[in-house]
Amino acid sequence: GVVLDLVAVLERSAARLTDDERGTFADAVASLRVVRAGRRDDYGAMLTHELHSQLDAWRWFVDDCTRGECAGGDLYRREVARRRRVDQLLTEGATLGLDLSEARDRTAALDRALRNRFVPGAYCGPPGEEQRYPRAAYWWLYGRPEGDGGD
């Protein structure tokens, strides 16, 4: 998950990298692709394990929200990064052809539970990346659960 996050961040900021940094980054991405292709089963198992870990942690947060126990402050902004990672891992898993139907079902159930206590509002995802996350598909990045007072 973290590696995929870093690759995505560096891809978006490639224009600001030096030629040497772009070369190093390209080499790292190529190495990741080699590992992903050559150790597909291991990579898939690690991805699935990470996905389930992220879903477990996200479930704890959503469960707290459904009980009305969302803490104020910037908690949702930090926790919703976990939901973005779940989405990213599901996408990567689909690219690999992994059967992640159970994880997709869990994600959908958690989304339904969160949506029941969700107050639409301002974008709370990564600063400057709003265009990457359309409101219809990433509704959970546009607002907060009831009880989370925000910043």
SS3 142: strand
The structure's pTM equals 0.78
Name residue 37's amino acid: A
Cα–Cα distance, 127 to 121 (Å, whole number): 15
CA end-to-end distance (rounded Å), the chain: 26
> Which residues have a Cβ under 8 Å from the Cβ of 129 and sit 6 or more positions away?
12
Backbone angles phi, psi at 67, to 5 degrees: -90, 5
pLDDT of the chain, 151 residues: tens digit per residue = 556 665 665 566 667 777 787 777 777 777 777 777 777 788 888 889 999 999 999 999 999 888 877 765 578 888 898 999 999 899 989 988 999 999 999 999 999 999 998 999 999 988 888 998 999 999 999 998 886 555 4
